[in-house]
Amino acid sequence: MPDRIVSWHPSPSKPRYTPPAGAVDAHCHVFGPMARFPFSAKAKYLPGDAGPDMLFALRDHLGFTRNVIVQASCHGTDNAATLDAIARSDGKARGVAVVDPAISEAELAALHAGGIRGIRFNFLKRLVDDAPKDKFLEVSRRLPAGWHVVIYFEADILEELRPFMDAIPVPLVIDHMGRPDVSQGPGGADLKAFRRLLDARGDIWFKATCPDRLDPSGDPWNAFADAVAPLVADYQDRVIWGTDWPHPNMQDQVPDDGHLVDMIPRIAPTRELQHKLLVANPMRLYWPEEP
C-alpha cells in the first residue's frame, strides 16, 4: 500500500483575528478514519486519517462555531464519512455530498435528513476520471428543495462550462473562485471572466478560499489578498469562506490554519463584511431555517 499522505499542519498557530460569534468554516473535509470508512478504489490520493474529532478541535482552536463538510474526491460517492462527521457535530455541521447521478429520490431524502444541503460536481481531471455534464444536469433538476450545486473547476475551463452552469436550475457555489491566477491582480483576465460569470446570474455564490492553493508567492499570500478583496467587496452577499482543512494534496506546502484565518480581515476589512462572509451568508445557504 502506498504511504498515506499528511497534508495538514501538526500544530496550527492561534490566529490573531477573532471571528464573529457563530462563524462558519464553510469548506472543509474529513478523511476516514480509513478503518471505518475506506477510501474509494478510484481515489487519486491516499490521505492519513483526519476525522471529525480533529476537525472539531481545529474549529474550536480557530474560534469558529460551525462547519460545512464537503465530500472529498478520495471518498468517491460514498458519503458515509461525511455523514458520520455531521452526525457527531451536535447540529454544528452540515455538508455537501458527491453522488452517483443515478441516485434515487429516497437516497437524496436520506442525505437531506443526514444534514446534506448540496452536491458537488468536480471537474479537476487530476481528481476524478470523468465528469458527465448531461448526467450532472439531470440530477441537478431532482434535488431536494433548498439545495444547491457546488462546482469545482480551474480557470482554463470556465468558458467551456458556461452553457452547463447556465442550465443548472438551482443556486451555484463555486469552489475557490474557479481557481484564478491571482498573480494577474484584481483586474486580470481570470478574475474578469469570473466576474462575468457572477454578473450573469444573481444566484451564483463563491468561496473566497485557498490562498495556499492560488498564490505561489506563499504565506502571507499578498497577491491573493490584493486580488480577492475587491471581489469580496463587490459581491458581498454571495461569498463564503473556509479553511479547506485537511488541505487535500497540499502535503508539499502545508498551510498554517491560523495564518489562513488571519487572511480574513485582509479580504473583508470591516466587521460588517466579516459578518456576511462568516455568518450571514453561510447561514442562509446551510441553515436557512435559523433566524
* Minimum CB distance to ligand 0GY smaller for 22 or for 101: 101
Residue of minimal Cβ distance to ligand 0GY:
73
Please tell me the count of residues contacting ligand 0GY according to CB under 6 A.
10
Question: 134 an active-site residue?
Answer: no
User: Minimum distance between the CB of residue 45 and ligand 0GY, rounded to whole angstroms?
Assistant: 7
Alpha helical stretches, state H, 7-75 = 52-62
CB contact at 8 A, 247 and 7? yes
In one-letter notation, the amino acid at residue 216 is: P
Q: Report which of 102, 143, 84, 88 is spatially closest to residue 119, judged by C-alpha positions.
A: 143
Name the grid cell of 281: 451568508
The dihedral through the CA atoms of 57, 61, 66, 69 has a sign that is negative
148 vs 273, beta carbon nearer ligand 0GY: 148
Q: Return the number of other C-beta atoms located less than 10 Å from residue 141's C-beta.
A: 10
Please answer whether residues 88 and 36 qualify as being in contact, where contact means their C-beta atoms are separated by less than 8 angstroms.
Answer: no
Q: How far apart are CA 105 and CA 188, in angstroms?
A: 42
From 249, 258, 263, 282, residue interacting with ligand 0GY (rule: CB under 6 A): 249
Q: What's the closest the beta carbon of residue 153 comes to ligand 0GY, in angstroms? A: 11
> Is residue 244 a contact point for ligand 0GY (CB under 6 A)?
yes
Piece in contact with ligand 0GY (CB under 6 A), picked from 185-193, 198-206, 214-222, 241-249: 241-249
Site for ligand 0GY in 67-86 (CB under 6 A): 72-74
Please, what is the end-to-end C-alpha distance for the chain in angstroms? 49
> Least distance from C-beta 80 to ligand 0GY, angstroms?
16
Q: How many CA atoms are closer than 13 Å to the CA of 236, on its beta-carbon side?
A: 14
Pattern 95-134, ligand 0GY, x by CB under 6 A: ---------------------------x----x-------
Contacting ligand 0GY within 175-214 (CB under 6 A): 175
Site string for ligand 0GY, 140-169 (x = CB under 6 A): ------------x-----------------
Q: Least distance to ligand 0GY from the beta carbon of 41, Å?
A: 15
Place of cell 498564490: 215
Phi-psi sector, 163: left (phi>0), alpha (psi -120 to 50), beta: alpha
Choose, from 244, 252, 257, 262, the residue flagged as catalytic.
244
Q: How many CB atoms lie within 10 A of CB 129?
A: 7
| Minimum separation from the CB atom of position 187 to ligand 0GY (A) | 25
Q: Quote the CA–CA distance of 134 and 132 in Å, as a whole number.
A: 6
Residue 267 engages ligand 0GY in binding (rule: CB under 6 A)? no
* Size of the chain in residues: 291
Q: Which residues are near ligand 0GY by CB under 6 A?
A: 72-74, 122, 127, 152, 175, 244, 248-249
What residues are annotated to the active site? 244
